[in-house]
Amino acid sequence: MTRGKKAESLLAPHDGEAEELLLETTTEQPLAPARILEALGADRVAEEEAEETEGRRLRWLLPAAAILGVAGWLGAMGWLLRDQASRLSDPIATVQLVAALCVPPALIGIVYLLALRTSRAEASRFGATARRMRAEASALEARVAALAAQLEHNRTALSHHAAELMAMGESAHSRLASAAATMAEQSRAIDVSAQTMGQRIDQAQTNLSIVLNSLPKANAELHAMAAQLESSGLAASQRAASLDAQLVALGERGREADAIAGGAAERLAAHIARMEATSETAASRLEEVTGQMSQAVDGVLDRAAGAVDEARKGIATQGEAILAMLSANQAALDRAGKDSADALGERIAMIEEAITRISSRLGEERGRSEGLFAEISEGVTRFDRELAVVHAMGMTRTQELAGSMSALESSFQAMSTALTSGEGNASKVIRTSEDLLTALDASVREIDETLPAALDRLDARINASREVVAASKPELLALVTAATSTHEAIEAIAEVVRQQRDTLAKTQESLLETLASGREKADELEKIVDDAISTTRRFSDDAAPQLVDALLRIRETSTTAAEHARSTLAGLVPQASAAIEEASGAAIGRAVDAALARQLAEMVDASEAAVTAAAGASERLTRQMAALAEATAQLDEQVSHARAEHERTDADHFSRRVTLLIEAMNSSAIDIAKAFSTEVTDSAWAAYLRGDRGVFTRRAVRLLDPGEARDVHRLYNENEVFRDNVNRYIHDFEGMLRQVLALRDGSAMGVTLLSSDMGKLYVALAQAIERLRT
């Protein structure tokens, strides 16, 4: 019976210890002991205080009574033996006297020890131990609550920093995207400038082609003008010759008219002579005829003379008109030739002057174009160098940024996995703690229900045992052993409390180490930022070759156009070729210089802005992620350390808890075996005292026949003591089985436990009381 009481007292500290071990790893149930205390009520607290006050009274009363009894006995014996000093000379009598004197003090000491081991004393010590454990549990709960608050704060800060990191990553990504878009726009602008330059070059080539095509036409017009002038001179000379021929013809006609007039006069004179020769023959008639003829001849002569005069006048007038026309034509020809010659000379002078000016300007433009091409070549070379530097920097930053983004993504994935596993472990621990709290509550209620009756029964048994102390030496030894084991259990509980304190201290140290290890994560994040910068540089390196190719194409196009212009103009007039080359070179130089300067300035500004933004973002990211990485690393290390510490503590305490439970079940098996058979052999007690704690368990299994389940059920319902022992044994075995099954290899160990004598007794009792059916 007392061994069952000892097992009952050992159960509650074990449950409290399990609760403390679980409170160390979870923060969701920090006030479970407080709720249990509230469930017990104010009556329980008052009863504990009254028992404590009475225990303090008895603690001073019993030693005082024992000392007074021993002093009274020694004083009485000394008073009785005051006259028998002569008998003390005999050694045998002295030994007998000393033995007689020592027997009552020894009996008083035994009675005092038995009084100290009463149920009330055990209950007071258990209550004091429970109060100390509650105080320790409250302190542990406060520490755990503080740690939970710190963890929650760190978790909030971690989420906040993670959100800031994501926002900064998105900002850096948007900035890189804007920089890429700007570079793409600049590339497109350079392409547009190149296309515009090509169009201008094509337009210049077209103008040159028009000029070249117009030069032969102008030459042809000059040749046509010269030919026209020559033809005009020839026509004028031909007209002068024709006028001379007409004048000669007119002279010949005048001479022919004179000859005709002379011949007519001669014929007329001959006719007159013939008429005079004949007139002599016809004098009479001739006078009249002569008069008529004279009048007729006079008239004819007058008419002939007038006709001749009119002919002469007409010929003279015509000659004068011809001469005037010839002189006018000659003057007009002279004026036209002189004007044409003057105009041709002026035009030739103007052409020569224009050619001279064009030659001088072409010379100047050639010098400018050579200087401009030299500056363009120099600027392109410098731009190539700067672009190569920007390309290298951009490539490095882009690579670093890409690496940092990938590392950051993997870190977030690992963090998410760790948080998920931590949440699962927390849920598992919460469920386990709830189960243990439920079991603890059930145990407390069972203790509250069974403790008063058990104390009463224990008092009755102690009163009965006082009467048979001399005959119950084995049971006395068992009580001493039980008291020793109880004291060891209390010391084990104190050791568990100290270990829990050490565990909390180690947890704090692990938290500090976790905070210290966060710097490594900060370094990793700094590497991530550097990788992001290298990614940016790689991006700029990827875009820079396109710009270089575009500029090289522009340069090649310009060179090709210049060479084509040179080769085209090489066959023309040297002055016009130089002028056109100078003008085209100047135009191309101005366009290329302006476009290149503008694009280079924009590209340099964009590159510098991108590099500055990336550097600033990396610095801010490094500063802001230092705390996040530190907290994350500390949290990971704390969780791993706490998990390892919890597993190590469970492994260290599991054997102790199982040993205590086995001891409690063996103690309960003693009372159960007594219920089946009241006869206990001395060999069984001797084996139990030698350390074979399972002898009564095996004896109970042998006594419990499988066919006696109905009798066991009847005894369980009728005998309250047997029912309490059976409930205690089943409760302890199930508690040990739950702890075993919670381990990694718990299933195999559970099967081993069930196949052992304790397991067989548990199965037989559980089947007999129909516990396994529900």
Residue 397, beta-bridge partner list = 534, 535
Residue 10, beta-bridge partner list = none
Reported confidence tier of residue 501, pLDDT bands at 50, 70, 90 = low
pLDDT at 185: 79
Q: Is 222's pLDDT higher than 70?
A: no
Q: Give residue-wise pLDDT tens across range 396-431.
A: 766 776 666 666 666 656 666 765 666 666 566 566
Q: Is 607's pLDDT higher than 50?
A: yes
Cβ atoms of 536 and 682 within 8 Å: the answer is no
Euclidean distance between CA atoms 758 and 764, whole angstroms: 10
Residues near 110 by beta carbon (within 8 Å), at least 6 away in sequence = 469
The arithmetic mean of pLDDT across residues 328-333, rounded, is: 68
* Consecutive H or E run containing 510: helix 473-569
Residues near 191 by beta carbon (within 8 Å), at least 6 away in sequence = 550
Residues near 555 by beta carbon (within 8 Å), at least 6 away in sequence = 376, 380, 592
Cβ atoms of 158 and 628 within 8 Å: the answer is yes
Q: Is 458's pLDDT higher than 80?
A: no
Q: Give residue-wise pLDDT tens across range 291-308.
A: 666 676 567 667 766 766
Q: How many CB atoms lie within 10 A of CB 743?
A: 15
Q: Is 128 inside any structural domain? A: yes
Taking the whole predicted model, whether its pTM rises above 0.75 is answered as no
Residues near 716 by beta carbon (within 8 Å), at least 6 away in sequence = 722, 723, 726, 768, 769
Task: Identify which of 100-114, 390-404, 584-598 has the greatest average pLDDT.
Answer: 100-114
Q: For the range 100-107, what are the long-range contacts, defined as Cβ-Cβ under 8 Å and sequence gap of 24 or more?
A: 101/73, 101/74, 101/77, 104/69, 104/70, 104/73, 105/70, 105/73, 105/74
Q: How many domains does the chain have?
A: 1
Cα-to-chain-centroid distance, residue 313? 125
pLDDT at 668: 64
Q: Is 188 inside any structural domain? A: no
Euclidean distance between CA atoms 284 and 23, whole angstroms: 199
Q: Which residue has the tokens 């439970």?
A: 661
Q: How far is CA 550 from CA 183, 191, 241, in A?
A: 13, 7, 74
Reported confidence tier of residue 29, pLDDT bands at 50, 70, 90 = very low
pLDDT at 41: 46
Q: Is 340 inside any structural domain? A: no
Q: Is 651 inside any structural domain? A: yes
The arithmetic mean of pLDDT across residues 153-176, rounded, is: 81
Euclidean distance between CA atoms 206 and 33, whole angstroms: 100
Mean pLDDT of the chain: 66
Q: Is 672 inside any structural domain? A: yes
Structure tokens, 613: 């933004």
Cβ atoms of 451 and 86 within 8 Å: the answer is no
Q: Give residue-wise pLDDT tens across range 137-148.
A: 888 888 888 888
Reported confidence tier of residue 2, pLDDT bands at 50, 70, 90 = very low
Q: How far is CA 537 from CA 180, 451, 633, in A?
A: 11, 79, 30
Q: Is 1's pLDDT higher than 50?
A: no
Residue 394, beta-bridge partner list = 538
pLDDT at 545: 57
Closest CA to 581 of 205, 200, 219: 205
Cβ atoms of 532 and 172 within 8 Å: the answer is yes
Q: Which residue has the tokens 């302190």?
A: 139
The arithmetic mean of pLDDT across residues 179-191, rounded, is: 74
Euclidean distance between CA atoms 634 and 378, whole angstroms: 57
The arithmetic mean of pLDDT across residues 503-513, rounded, is: 64
* DSSP letters spanning 564-599: HHHHHHTTS-HHHHHHHHHHHHHHHHHHHHHHHHHH
Higher pLDDT, 701 or 509: 509
Tell me, letter by letter, the H, E, C secondary structure of 673-741.
HHHHCCCCCHHHHHHHHHCCCCHHHHHHHHHCCHHHHHHHHHHHHHCHHHHHHHHHHHHHHHHHHHHHH
pLDDT at 579: 53
Structure tokens, 660: 């205590």
Q: Is 542 inside any structural domain? A: no
Cβ atoms of 384 and 501 within 8 Å: the answer is no
* Consecutive H or E run containing 24: none
What residue type is 683 in one-letter code?
Answer: S
Residue 96: which domain range?
Answer: 2-141+410-527+628-768
Q: How far is CA 660 from CA 116, 298, 653, in A?
A: 23, 198, 10
Structure tokens, 76: 């009485």
Q: How far is CA 329 from CA 228, 236, 332, 737, in A?
A: 18, 8, 5, 149
Euclidean distance between CA atoms 43 and 34, whole angstroms: 16
Euclidean distance between CA atoms 658 and 20, whole angstroms: 17
Indicate the length of the chain as a whole number: 774
Q: Is 55's pLDDT higher than 60?
A: no
Q: Is 225 inside any structural domain? A: no
Higher pLDDT, 43 or 451: 451
Q: Is 452's pLDDT higher than 80?
A: no
Euclidean distance between CA atoms 105 and 349, whole angstroms: 162
Q: Angle at the Cα of 424 (from 423 to 425), degrees rounded to 5?
A: 90
pLDDT at 12: 40
Using a pLDDT cut of 90, give the percent of the chain over it: 0
Euclidean distance between CA atoms 150 and 134, whole angstroms: 24
Q: Is 129's pLDDT higher than 80?
A: yes
Residue 712: CA count within 13 A, CB half-sphere: 28
The arithmetic mean of pLDDT across residues 53-62, rounded, is: 65
Using a pLDDT cut of 70, give the percent of the chain over it: 33
pLDDT at 16: 38
Euclidean distance between CA atoms 91 and 154, whole angstroms: 83
Cβ atoms of 566 and 369 within 8 Å: the answer is no
pLDDT at 326: 65
pLDDT at 389: 76
Residues near 390 by beta carbon (within 8 Å), at least 6 away in sequence = 540, 544, 603, 604, 607
What residue type is 520 in one-letter code?
Answer: E
Q: Is 212's pLDDT higher than 50?
A: yes
| Terminal alpha carbon distance of the chain | 28
Reported confidence tier of residue 176, pLDDT bands at 50, 70, 90 = confident
Residues near 332 by beta carbon (within 8 Å), at least 6 away in sequence = none
Q: Is 270's pLDDT higher than 80?
A: no
The arithmetic mean of pLDDT across residues 764-771, rounded, is: 71
Q: Is 757's pLDDT higher than 50?
A: yes
Reported confidence tier of residue 18, pLDDT bands at 50, 70, 90 = very low
Euclidean distance between CA atoms 666 and 668, whole angstroms: 5
**DSSP-derived 3-state class of residue 317:** helix
Residues near 712 by beta carbon (within 8 Å), at least 6 away in sequence = 704, 764, 765, 768, 769
Segment among 5-14, 447-456, 576-585 with least mean pLDDT: 5-14
Read off the DSSP letter of residue 117. Answer: T
Reported confidence tier of residue 632, pLDDT bands at 50, 70, 90 = low
pLDDT at 322: 66
Read off the DSSP letter of residue 84. Answer: -
Segment among 448-452, 656-660, 714-718, 756-760 with least mean pLDDT: 448-452
Cβ atoms of 143 and 27 within 8 Å: the answer is no
Q: Is 428 inside any structural domain? A: yes
Tell me, letter by letter, the H, E, C secondary structure of 430-494.
HHHHHHHHHHHHHHHHHHHHHHHHHHHHHHHHHHHHHHCCCCCHHHHHHHHHHHHHHHHHHHHHH
pLDDT at 34: 44
Structure tokens, 163: 């959100």
Q: Give residue-wise pLDDT tens across range 229-241.
A: 667 666 656 666 6
Q: Give residue-wise pLDDT tens across range 357-382.
A: 777 777 777 777 677 667 777 776 77
Cα-to-chain-centroid distance, residue 769? 64
The arithmetic mean of pLDDT across residues 438-460, rounded, is: 64
Q: Is 196's pLDDT higher than 80?
A: no
Q: How many CB atoms lie within 10 A of CB 130?
A: 19
